[in-house]
Amino acid sequence: MANVNDLICVGAIGGAYGVQGEVRLKSFTAEAQAIADYAPLSTEDGSREFDLVITRTIKNGLAARVSGVITKEDADALKGTQLYAPRDRLPELPEDEFYYTDLIGLEVRDTGGTVLGKVKSVQNNGADDLLEVHGPGLKNTVLLLFTRAVVPTVDLKAGRIVADPPAGLFD
């Protein structure tokens, strides 16, 4: 059984597609169809494993056949299930790209070394990635634009991000 930190969320099941037991599949991989290359995929806790075959591209995702899913009801029962692949099945990323899971929990400091908080989640508004940062003295989380200009340094080994946020963002 893989360590949970060795698993990367590569997609999710969006429910049934049609009435023949196909599922609506959301792929979080850079190339949508590549999700099939990492099968078998599992739930986060490893309690279920799925082989999958992509049957077609559909609006906002893919249609796929998933092992163990025969009816529309089977497919609907899996709605919202996140699918994970072991990290060692995924490609190495270029130096300036990161898996979201590697960013969560990293300490965020400003360019003067002051701790701003920790990355709680990574979100995408359709155009840009945003780091949700929560920290001491913050009433609410802060969304920090994840661009090289705002986040010049990501040091995974040190567990730290250096950010140069716009003035007033963390006040």
The residue that leads in pLDDT, 31 or 48, is 48
68 shares its domain with 12:
yes
59 shares its domain with 80:
yes
Last residue of a domain, one of 30, 56, 89: 89
Tokens 């400091």 belong to which residue? 109
* Confidence (pLDDT) at 139: 86
Would you say how long the chain is, in residues? Answer: 171
Does any domain span residue 169?
no
Strands 142-145 and 129-134: antiparallel
The CA angle 84-85-89, to the nearest 5 degrees, is 165
Does any domain span residue 9?
yes
81 shares its domain with 149:
no
How does residue 5 score in pLDDT terms, banded at 50, 70 and 90?
low
Which structural domain range is residue 30 located in?
4-89
Task: Return the CATH number at 147.
Answer: 2.30.30.240
125 shares its domain with 153:
yes
Q: Is the dihedral of CA 146, 151, 154, 160 positive or negative?
A: negative
pLDDT digits (tens, 9 = 90+) for 60-88: 899 999 999 999 999 999 999 999 999 88
69 shares its domain with 125:
no
CB 108 within 8 A of CB 153: no
Residue 72's SS3 state is helix
CA distance 78 to 131: 29
Which amino acid, 57? T
What is the number of H-type helices and E-type strands within the chain? 2, 13
Please, which residues have CB within 8 angstroms of residue 22's CB and are 6 or more apart in sequence?
A: 16, 55, 63, 64, 65, 75
The CA angle 60-57-36, to the nearest 5 degrees, is 100
Supply the pTM of this predicted model: 0.69
* Confidence (pLDDT) at 153: 92
Does any domain span residue 171?
no
Q: How many domains does the chain contain in total?
A: 2
22 shares its domain with 84:
yes
Last residue of a domain, one of 50, 66, 89: 89
Last residue of a domain, one of 89, 120, 137: 89
